Amino acid sequence: MGVDDKLENAKDKVVGQGKEAAGKATDDERLEAEGRADQTKADLNQAGEKVKDAFRS
């Protein structure tokens, strides 16, 4: 996977952080949880990218 995937993962993490912050600010637990889930998904995808990069080297 390339730079595009890594940028997409970074964008997803930032969006997740925004959702979590908005959820906290508005006391919306569902939005807050969705933000945390988005961040976790982005972190897992990023870890997968690092593993793929390690095997390519």
Q: Each residue of 5-56: pLDDT tens digit?
A: 889 999 999 999 999 999 999 999 999 999 999 999 999 999 998 898 888 8
Residue 51: inside a domain, yes or no? no
Residue span of the structural domain in which 22 resides: 3-44
By CB atoms closer than 10 A (0-12, 13-18, 19+), residue 9 is buried
Residue 32: inside a domain, yes or no? yes
What is the pLDDT, as a whole number, of residue 43? 95
Residue 36: inside a domain, yes or no? yes
Residue 25: inside a domain, yes or no? yes
Split into its structural domains, the chain has a count of 1
pLDDT at 57 over 80: no
By CB atoms closer than 10 A (0-12, 13-18, 19+), residue 19 is buried
Residue 28: inside a domain, yes or no? yes
Residue 37: inside a domain, yes or no? yes
Residue 15: inside a domain, yes or no? yes
